[in-house]
Structure 1
Amino acid sequence: MKHVFPFKYSIFSKRTILVLLLLLLMGTFAVKAQCLENNFAFQSGEKLVFRGYYNWGFIWVAAGEVSLSVRTTKFQNKKTFKIEGEGKNTKAFDWFFKLRDTLTCYADTKTLAPLYFDRRTHEAKYDAHHEYWFDYEKNQIRSKIQKRDKAVKFDTLKNKPCTFDILSVAYYVRNLDFAKYKKGDKIPLSMLVDNEIHSLYIRFRGLETIKTKSGESFECLKFSPLLVEGTMFKGGEDMTVWLSNDDNRIPIMVEAKVLVGSVKGLLESYEGLRNTKNSLFKNEKGNLEIAE
């Protein structure tokens, strides 16, 4: 059965599948970024779980899991969304490359403007702790970065309008009004990654249907984020993201070419969805088996 609904990433840092799935919803532009006017896509209590796969040759291997969750709380006496992301590889790969990453963001419930962002990275022998405080009165971002066996670094960046971190930006993109754009359009965005503010973009590529193993079809919004060249990517638009074409805008699948092979993330389970009417998802909780 095909579901059709009306319209309403990314920068990648280091090596982690967690960052891949979080950053799949971001991009950079030379155009002025737009701020959120209305959150219609998610609510407190939502939790999404993704399964990560790595391809080398003709074989797709389950490599890790990423979970994203949201709840309301207070931060600096303000009502905020606490957005948390956790990524880890499968235990079978621990002997080869142990990965445990956690991301935490406190963002304004109305605008999704980030107030604080924390990233703790544990990848094999690499450890790092990044913290960022957003001061909108002074138009600054203060940072504190600690890496293994290195001195703590403090810095102050000049903030830009509507700048998001790699967690809040993913939820911001879910609220974009894609009805304003036609196939091929670039949608601008400003994002903070590794103590730098980047101006990127996502290119809207229209609609495409994703099928489950049971044969069900889901119409999705398809786009490609502009990637920054680094240890995993050559740069360019070698990543594709599919969002459910309904009011939930759930990331259903992401694929990207890396320097060696390619990676894929598939939605595995969901709960606490905000929208159940006029939705691809008939219940607020469930599991999916996306056809690979």
Structure 2
Amino acid sequence: MKQIRSWAIALLVMLTGNAAAQCSFRNTAFSSGEFLSYNLYYNWKFVWVKAGFASMSTVQSRYNGMPAYRASLTTRGNNKVDDFFILRDTLLCYNTLDLAPLYYRKGAHEGSRYTVDEVFYTYPNGNCHVRQHRQHSNGTHSWEQHSYTDCIYDMMSIFLRARSFNPEGWKKGNTVNFPIADGNGRTPACLVYNGKKVVKADDNNKYRCLHLSYTELDDGKYKRIVDFYVTDDNNHVPVRLDMFLKFGSAKAFLVGMKGLRNPVKSLVK
């Protein structure tokens, strides 16, 4: 029985891997064991207040018996701002080792609302099939599923993928388009390159960064969701994030990083 089970797992891995290959991408930016930490700041009545922390980790794990990257992102506001706005978000994704999406989950406690989004990816017959689940703030659940001939991503998987983009030759305004999924839909989205900028992190270092804007189509217009300032080297580590939220705006600044795959060549001395 053990041998039969092993053959079944091997067959599943082979079939899933072959089908997902169309949505794969080479990873040049990170390896298992990377950990990034950030300070969070909120804009409250035109004043920036230090109000929490965020962290992101990436490790090699397994998903349905196959090797996969497991990436998680947590944001935690502190007690200073809980009276004004509660922010407790946890994002999780599994991708194949060549970055095809497998699973995504976002649990969001924002203000008085708590929602959960999930996306389950499979790749039958060369298509990208997604099952999407949302737990609404009133506790009800909704499910839907769709098949697409093109690839579809979530916020975490596109972030992992984008870190391995090669920006050589990019000019200001260069745009990468892709569809994004959450718990109940598919939305056109894009990354826009805005040039380079030197950014000071909360580790007291300055880094030469690429400035990228993540936008989503909303009511016929592209709405800016977050600006990323990522190191201008092969790691493409986010040094600063500017987040445009429903309640206002927030920023995150890099505090520490360890387990990087490549040398940090973007440090400005």
- The answer to whether the 8 Å contact 1:36/1:175 transfers is no
Pairwise mapping of residues 278-289 of structure 1 onto structure 2 (< 5 A)? 279-280=265-266
Greater shift in the superposed pair: 69-78 or 207-216 = 207-216
Deviation at 1:148, TM superposition (A): 4.3
Q: What corresponds to 2:28 in structure 1?
A: 40
- The answer to whether the 8 Å contact 1:97/1:123 transfers is yes
Q: In the alignment, which of 192, 201, 208 is matched to residue 203 of structure 1?
A: 192
Q: What corresponds to 2:95 in structure 1?
A: 107
After TM superposition, the score normalised by the length of structure 1 is 0.74
Whose RCO is larger (CA < 8 A, sep 6+)? 1
Q: What corresponds to 2:207 in structure 1?
A: 218
Code of the aligned partner of 1:162: C
Q: In the alignment, which of 64, 89, 99 is matched to residue 77 of structure 2?
A: 89
- Give the direction of change, closer, same or farther, for the CA distance of 1:62–1:235 in structure 2 (3 Å limit): farther
Code of the aligned partner of 1:133: F
Deviation at 1:149, TM superposition (A): 3.8
Offset from partner CA, 1:263-289 (integer Å, 9 cap, x none): 22211111111112x63369xxxxxxx
Offset from partner CA, 1:59-87 (integer Å, 9 cap, x none): 21112222111111111121100111111
Paired residue secondary structure (1:249): coil
- Give the direction of change, closer, same or farther, for the CA distance of 1:107–1:247 in structure 2 (3 Å limit): same
Code of the aligned partner of 2:254: L
Q: In the alignment, which of 177, 188, 202 is matched to residue 188 of structure 1?
A: 177
Task: Say whether 1:130 aligns with 2:117.
Answer: yes
Deviation at 1:253, TM superposition (A): 0.9
Q: In the alignment, which of 238, 242, 255 is matched to residue 242 of structure 2?
A: 255
Q: In the alignment, which of 53, 59, 77 is matched to residue 65 of structure 1?
A: 53
Q: Among the aligned pairs, what percent are the same residue?
A: 27
Code of the aligned partner of 2:109: H
- Give the direction of change, closer, same or farther, for the CA distance of 1:160–1:46 in structure 2 (3 Å limit): farther
- Give the direction of change, closer, same or farther, for the CA distance of 1:72–1:201 in structure 2 (3 Å limit): same
> If you compute each CA radius of gyration, which structure gives the higher value, 1 or 2?
2
Q: In the alignment, which of 131, 145, 150 is matched to residue 142 of structure 1?
A: 131
After TM superposition, the score normalised by the length of structure 2 is 0.79
Deviation at 1:241, TM superposition (A): 2.1
**Paired residue total:** 244
Q: In the alignment, which of 39, 42, 54 is matched to residue 42 of structure 2?
A: 54
Deviation at 1:146, TM superposition (A): 2.1
- The answer to whether the 8 Å contact 2:39/2:202 transfers is no
Deviation at 1:143, TM superposition (A): 2.1
Q: What corresponds to 1:19 in structure 2?
A: none
Distance, in Å, in 2 between the alignment partners of 1:141 and 1:172 is 18
Code of the aligned partner of 1:280: S
Deviation at 1:167, TM superposition (A): 1.0
Question: What are structure 2's unaligned runs of at least 5 residues?
Answer: 1-21
RMSD of aligned residue pairs (Cα, Å): 2.8
Distance, in Å, in 1 between the alignment partners of 2:40 and 2:108 is 18
Paired residue secondary structure (1:176): coil
Offset from partner CA, 1:185-241 (integer Å, 9 cap, x none): 1122221124212222122122111235787532111122224449xxx95347532
Q: Which structure: greater strand fraction?
A: 2
Distance, in Å, in 2 between the alignment partners of 1:161 and 1:102 is 28
Q: What corresponds to 1:274 in structure 2?
A: 261
Task: Say whether 1:118 aligns with 2:105.
Answer: yes
Deviation at 1:57, TM superposition (A): 4.8
Q: Which structure: greater helix fraction?
A: 2
